[in-house]
Structure formats: structure tokens, C-alpha cells
Structure 1
Amino acid sequence: MTAPVRVLVCDDQALIRTGFATIIDAQPDLEVVGECGDGRAGVELARRLKPDVVVMDVRMPVLDGIEATRQLAGAGVADPVKVLVVTTFNLDEYVYEALRAGASGFLLKDAPPPQLLQGIRTVASGAALLAPEVTRQLVGRYAERIKPVNEKEPELPLAPRELEVLRLIAEGLSNSEIAAALVISQETVKTYVSRILTKLDLRDRVQAVVYAYRRGLVS
């Protein structure tokens, strides 16, 4: 049998924290290994317990979820932890900052239980939880903040078709939409996406979107 996905729940509201833990623990393939009510405790517990996924609230005392995420999953972290951010407000400023800090995706706190559970499984598998329509809204709202600065950067190590796929990812297209646009199979799209992430040393599609905007590949 495959070992269950180990989950750490971080939220300063006890009712929400307990609710999440109860829902998660009821699943045979998921296991709550710890709970906490502030970001600093979340960082300490994550480093000690080494969960597969941290369900992280954004607004918490002592250390907020953004900084906690940065310490657990940000650039330069030797052994990064996958973080799933939960928030009360869709696409608020804190969510964008959390994604930049290294989160693998986000959900709304009022998402139905099946969506939370699927989100945890998705992030645990190494995929990003950021729906294409959400990507479009995200980059539309924060594109100016992601715009590249005037500095010399190395040439992109991408083939023309890979570059084309990266631009479509940044525009918020799903794999099926990219396949239709380029008249190729979804499996071929998945192969291109995997190559892009590997060549650019990116973890997931969220990072690919931010990267493309920073490099000025989309506007």
C-alpha cells in the first residue's frame, strides 16, 4: 500500500483548523501529522515533521503565511515543502505574494471539502493548483508588478515550440486549450510543459507564469 499523504494544517482560527483536520483525516490516503495557529509554529513543525503538504492560512499572528511559505518553499530553500495556501478572499494581494513566495497553489476557505481534498492530492503529486481562468485573472491584475526590470538576462534555453507553449501557459490556457491552439495532442503538451519546467528550473506552472511575465514574453 502507498503511504498516506502527510499534511500539516496551519490556521489561526481553531474551528477552521479542526474542520480541515477532521475532513482530511477521514480520507484513507491522507493523514494530518500536525496542527498550529501561527506561521512561526508552522515553519518549526514543518521542519520537524517533514509533511508532504502544508495547508497554510495567509493571515496569521507571529509570522504570516506569506513569510512562512517563503521560509518553507522559497528560492534557495534546501529541502522545500509543498504549500497549499488557503484564503478568505479570491485573488487578494496576499495570495499573489504567497505564490511568489513559493506556494504551489491556493484555494478559498469556503471551497467544498472535495475540492480541498483534491487540492491537497494535486499539490502532493507535484502539480500546481491554479486553474487556467484564475491564472488569467491573476496575471491580469498583477501583470504590472511582474513586468521585467531592465537587466541583462541569459538567453532562454527553449526551442521555438517550447517558447510558444510557455507563452500560452502564461496566458492562462489549459493543456487541452494549448493542444487545440497548436493542433497537437495533450500528451505532447504535457511533454513540452515538463521540458520547459526542467530547462528553466521551475517547480510548476505558477512559477512558469511569473517567469514568462518577468522575461517580457507576454504582455
Structure 2
Amino acid sequence: MSLPLVSPNWDVPANVKAFCSTRHGGVSETPWDSLNLALHVDDKTTSVEENRLRLEQTTGLPNPKWLKQTHSTRVIQHSFSSHDADGCYSDRFGQACIVMTADCLPILLCNEEGSWVAAIHAGWRGLADDILFNAVQQYKGSSPLIAWIGPAISEKFFEVGAEVRNSFINKNSQLDRYFNANSHQKWQCDLAGIAECELTRYGVNVHQSNLCSYSDADNFYSHRRATHQFGNTATTGRMASVIWLESL
């Protein structure tokens, strides 16, 4: 069995293993077709469990930690007993840190010496509330950090109101350049650009996938695309972005 996966376009130590799943290769039926990995989107539990098993068997995913994400700013250690968080980190071999997304930013982190990794789920709320700062603060080493921003909704399709824009520029006026006014008296928001700006401020070397979850319906889930197509009751699946340290 093989599953199509997205590999991060970054140069990291060989023992750092990372990927993002696509919507292909699973057993979920429409509208979750087919590799939905989330239990909270009304898909059949048996389908999600089979999809997760396929992912684990195909990739050799070690000790996966599936989070219960709530758009918080909480970042926890993999070995912590709770699963309620929007970020996970590890400095041990064989502990897979995972976040699930369908438009929000999946951000994978590691250090240059390959001894620390993290996975972060960052929607606009988490980003505005400084989840990236919280994540970087968990790292206590001296080797520089590297980040990869995976498939997420692009500026072209991410329309927001003034309240979202204000939540960013009120804390950092320089973030205004990531909002472009449109003809609907709203704003097109470059969420990935904001994340890169913030991470760069913290000394992180950032790599962008430049993959849009909204526009690539063949490969990625998009909550906003589903909402535009089917209304507020729309449901869709979730991709997983995964990172772990492998013993060499």
C-alpha cells in the first residue's frame, strides 16, 4: 500500500522525518473522501480509524499523538498525558507530533542538529494570540530552528473582516502589508505571510510550501471551499502534518 504525501521543501538532518497527507488513499465516503484523519468532523469512526492505520503502516509513523485542537495557543510535550492542544513538541526519538488542518496553517519545526521537533496548528485566532511565540518558547536548545509552512488557504481565497485585520495590526502595525482591501469592503489576508514574518522575528529560518488548500480540491481538504459550495452546514475532512525524530 502507498499513499501520496507532500514532502517539505527544506534541508534538514536525515533523522528528521516529516510529511503532510493528502485526501487520497483512504476509505471515507463523500464528503470526507477519502483519507480523512479527523474524528471530530462527523465521519464514521471506523473509517477514520482505518485511515489512521493506513497512514501509520505506510509511513512507519511511530507513537502518533493525535491532538484535540480548539484554536488555542496551547503547545504541549508529546509525552504529556493531555491531548487538548494546538501544538506538540518532542526531543525524543520515535514520537510523532501531528496537527490536522483544512485551511489553517500546518507548521512543522525542527532544529538544525536534529534533536527537537514540533507541529503547530495555526488558524488566524491562534496566530493572532501568539501560538508561534509559545511554540518557539518551548525550545531550550541553541541550534537554530527551521520551519515549514504546509498546505493552507492562500491570500486569494481568504477574505476576512476588519476585526481580524485589527487583531493583527493592533499588536504589530507592520503586519498591515499582509492585508489587501477587496471590492467587498473586506480584506484578503496572507496568513502564511504573517506566520513567516512572526517566525523570522524569532530567528527561525522559514520555508513556504506555497500550496493552497482551497484551490487544489483534488489533493487537499478546505473547510472554506466546502462552506462556499454547500453553506454553513458543510463538512469536510482533514489532512495531517507530521514530524518526528528517527534514531539513525
TM-score, normalisation: structure 2? 0.30
**Greater fraction of residues in helix:** 1
